[in-house]
Amino acid sequence: ARQAVAYEGPAPRLVAALKDDRRRRLASVIAGIVTAVVPPPPQGAALVPVPLGARRARQRGFNQSLLLAHELGRSWGRPVCDILVRVREGADQRGSGATARALQASGAFAARSGAATPSIAWLIDDVHTTGATLADCARALRAAGASSVGAACFARVLHGVPDELPNVLSWAPTSPPGR
């Protein structure tokens, strides 16, 4: 999976404002950050948003990953295929560890019955935490016929990973050495 920023600094507040405060317009801001950092998927790829469960969709009123997928699709010139569904509801994963997330995500996603599955699919999500959700969504897409699955997310939680991700929300360019 490719991601634009580390899930630190202002990134968690931006995601919370989108999801919890229901500030849908922030999807275009977040997508702008993603397109500034993450290269577009290959030609022929379709963007597939990570789905919400029915209960969470009713509570929130929208799927933030679908909003991001539409914004990214416009920027990258790629179609959006909303073909995944959550077939098993899970508890809110915020604060859950890797094992709990893997158990919750395992077998939780499937392609809609009769939906045309793109050969090249790129999953779109707001936050990549442990990779369990993306892995199960990729499993569902491959089971439905996708030959290649990639992913792009706004932010990634770094679990002791060296600080290898740019945080463009607080990044300031520096002069190259020798200048």
The b/e string for 7-42 (b: 16+ C-beta within 10 A; e otherwise) is bbeebeebbebbbeeeeeebbeebbebbbebbebbe
Question: Is the pLDDT reported for residue 172 higher than 70?
Answer: no
User: Which pLDDT tens digit goes with each residue over 95-111?
Assistant: 545 455 445 556 789 99
Kindly report the length of the chain.
179
71-94 pLDDT tens trace: 999 999 999 999 999 986 665 555
Q: What is the DSSP letter of 62?
A: S
Q: How far apart are CA 152 and CA 108, in angstroms?
A: 20
What does the mean pLDDT of the chain come to? Answer: 84
Please determine, for residue 141, whether its predicted confidence score (pLDDT) is greater than 60: yes
Q: pLDDT digit string (tens) for 4-40? A: 999 999 999 999 999 989 999 999 999 999 999 999 9
In whole angstroms, how far apart are CA 6 and each of 44, 51, 80, 129, 166? 28, 22, 25, 10, 7
- Percent helix, strand, coil in the chain, to 5, is 35, 20, 45
Looking at the chain, list the stretches that DSSP marks H as alpha helix, in order from N- to C-terminal side.
11-19, 26-37, 54-60, 64-76, 98-105, 132-143
Crossing angle between the packed helical segments 26-37 and 11-19, to the nearest 10 degrees:
140
What pLDDT is recorded for position 171? 36
Give me the pLDDT at residue 131, please: 85
Q: What is the pLDDT of residue 104?
A: 58
The band of 166, judged by pLDDT with boundaries at 50, 70 and 90, is: very low
